[in-house]
Amino acid sequence: MYVGRFAPSPTGPLHFGSLVTAVASYCEAKSNQGRWLVRMEDLDKPREMAGAADNILQTLVAFGFQWDDDVIYQSQRTHAYQLAFEQLQNLGLIYPCNCSRKEIADSATHGIEGLVYPGTCRHGIREARTQQAWRIKTTDKLISFNDTIQGDQSQQLNRDIGDFVLKRADGLFAYQLAVVVDDASQNITHIVRGADLLNSTPRQIYLQQLLGFKQLSYAHIPLAVKANGEKLSKQNLAQPIDKANAPQQIFDALVFLGQNPPPSISQRPLIQIWDWAISNWQLSKINRSISINI
Ligand code: GLU
């Protein structure tokens, strides 16, 4: 059974980039007779915008998305993350780290996604400080996967990423841990999401392996970027999508996703657009690039 999901972070209202992700994951799940779940990734309370979670769900309803189970809220799942964290701790892979940003910057090398933590605290923290994060040890084992859209990918985590944080100094569990625990507990089989998370995937596969979870199928869709290359994100206040004109915007998302919808459907009732979108959906038509200018 195919189980897909859409996992927005409530840092702002949905924008065109997140609509594209929702449409792609929905059409891919529904055209595979699968289930489609919504998970609210509201773990990072400091970055949350008040009212955004409800606003996102209302927008999804207004656009005619139908999810197949209750919405899960990460803010209510700390216990599950704690259990997984303890499981990794029992494997001897977790250590506290109280390096400051400056200390890391002074001795780190550059990896795929910024600085590679130099492992300073692996053998014990140097001096007691109140705030400490918890990192997981990475290894030189190559982690590879075939992304359905972006093709073969591999990373050597200790060289490309470094020991990464699972629990932040402010006590919050990190996205990388939460997403792996939730995808497993919701029995997700297929992930369709934005290519900004392509580089996170080997970290997630590593955690799946250590926690004894199944590896999932991944498809990372191109990001919608502004002509100046900037990613559309809720943080840079990309225009929220307009609930009043859902058919046109689903149409635009289908165009972005390479599906060539006939122009006539852009003014049809939602039910007809979804019917067209799901019955004509082909993931293979999506452009195999990391980003597309809009
Ligand atoms: N919550 C993440 C975001 O909104 C998506 C996480 C995921 O799909 O794994 O960017």
CA gap 198, 103 in Å, rounded? 28
273 within a domain of the structure (yes/no): yes
Burial class of 123 by CB neighbour count within 10 A (0 to 12, 13 to 18, 19+): exposed
Pocket test for ligand 1, best of 36, 41, 77 (most atoms within 8 A of CB): 41
**Nearest one of 88, 80, 82, 173 to 137, comparing CA atoms:** 88
178 within a domain of the structure (yes/no): no
CA–centroid distance, 176 to ligand 1, in Å, is 10
Pocket test for ligand 1, best of 11, 45, 175 (most atoms within 8 A of CB): 175
Backbone angles phi, psi at 279, to 5 degrees: -75, -20
pLDDT in tens, 139-180: 999 999 999 999 999 999 999 999 999 999 999 999 999 999
Residues of the domain holding 44? 3-75+186-293
Neighbours of 50 (CB within 10 A): 8
CA distances from 292 to 24, 149, 158, 173, 252 (A): 15, 14, 31, 32, 13
Q: What angle do CA 18, 64, 149 make, to 5 degrees?
A: 40
Same-domain check for residues 58 and 84: no
Q: Residue 8 corresponds to which tokens in the numbers above?
A: 């927005």
179 within a domain of the structure (yes/no): no
Name the pTM for this structure: 0.95
Q: Which amino acid is at 113?
A: E
Same-domain check for residues 50 and 99: no
Atom of ligand 1 at shortest distance to CA of 41? 1
Same-domain check for residues 191 and 289: yes
Same-domain check for residues 198 and 283: yes
Please give the torsion angle defined by the CA atoms of residues 153, 5, 7 and 246, in that order, rounded to the nearest 10 degrees: 110
Residue 5's pLDDT is 98
Same-domain check for residues 123 and 198: no
150 within a domain of the structure (yes/no): no
Our answer on whether the CB atom of 155 is closer than 6 Å to any ligand 1 atom is no
190 within a domain of the structure (yes/no): yes
Residue 151's pLDDT is 98
Same-domain check for residues 95 and 70: no
Our answer on whether the CB atom of 197 is closer than 6 Å to any ligand 1 atom is yes
Handedness of CA 264, 266, 269, 271 (dihedral sign): positive
177 within a domain of the structure (yes/no): no
CA–centroid distance, 220 to ligand 1, in Å, is 11
Same-domain check for residues 71 and 211: yes
Same-domain check for residues 43 and 8: yes
Question: Count of residues for the chain?
Answer: 294
Residue 226's pLDDT is 79
180 within a domain of the structure (yes/no): no
| CB-CB contact of 143 with 157 (8 Å) | yes
173 within a domain of the structure (yes/no): no
Same-domain check for residues 109 and 68: no
Residue 280's pLDDT is 98
Segment holding 39, helix H or strand E: strand 35-40
**Nearest one of 280, 229, 227, 218 to 251, comparing CA atoms:** 280
How many domains, the chain?
A: 2
Residue 294's pLDDT is 82
Residue 231's pLDDT is 65
CATH number of the domain residue 264 falls in = 3.40.50.620
CA–centroid distance, 263 to ligand 1, in Å, is 31
Low-confidence stretches of the chain (pLDDT < 50) are: none
Same-domain check for residues 71 and 85: no
Our answer on whether the CB atom of 41 is closer than 6 Å to any ligand 1 atom is yes
Q: Where are the beta strands (DSSP E) in the chain?
A: 3-6, 35-40, 72-73, 94-97, 109-111, 114-116, 133-136, 142-147, 151-156, 164-167, 190-194, 217-221, 223-225, 291-293
CA–centroid distance, 143 to ligand 1, in Å, is 21
CA gap 160, 234 in Å, rounded? 27
